[in-house]
Structure 1
Amino acid sequence: MKIKKGDIVEVITGKDAGKRGEVQRVVRGKFKYGRKKGQKDPNHDRVVVAGVNLVVKHQRPQPGVQQAGRITVEAPIHHSNVMLVCPNCDKPTRVKIDRSEGKKIRICKKCGKPIDK
Structure 2
Amino acid sequence: MIKKNISKKYKIHLKTGDIVKIISGKNKGKKGEIKKIISKTRKILVKDINLMTRHLKPKKEGETGQIIKIEAPIHSSNVILCNDT
Q: Same fold (TM over 0.5)?
A: yes
Deviation at 1:50, TM superposition (A): 0.7
Among 24, 32, 45, the residue aligned to 2:35: 24
Cα distance change, pair 5–68 in 1 and its aligned pair in 2 (3 A)? farther
Please state whether the residue corresponding to 1:61 is helix, strand or coil: coil
Q: CA deviation at 1:51?
A: 1.3
Give unmatched runs, 5+ long, in structure 2. Answer: 1-11
Matching residue's letter, 1:21: G
Count residues with an aligned counterpart: 71
Residue of structure 2 equivalent to 1:45: 42
Higher relative contact order (CA 8 A, sep 6+): 2
**Deviation (angstroms), 1:58:** 1.0
Moved over 6 A (4+): none
Q: Which residue of 1 aligns with 2:9?
A: none
Match of 2:74 in 1: 77
Structure 1, unaligned stretches of length 5 or more? 30-43, 92-117
Aligned pairs for 1:1-117 within 5 A = 1-29=12-40, 44-62=41-59, 68-86=65-83, 90=84
**Identical pairs, percent:** 39
User: Any idea what the Cα deviations from partners look like across 1:26-54, whole Å, max 9, x if unmatched?
Assistant: 0011xxxxxxxxxxxxxx00000011111
RMSD: 1.7
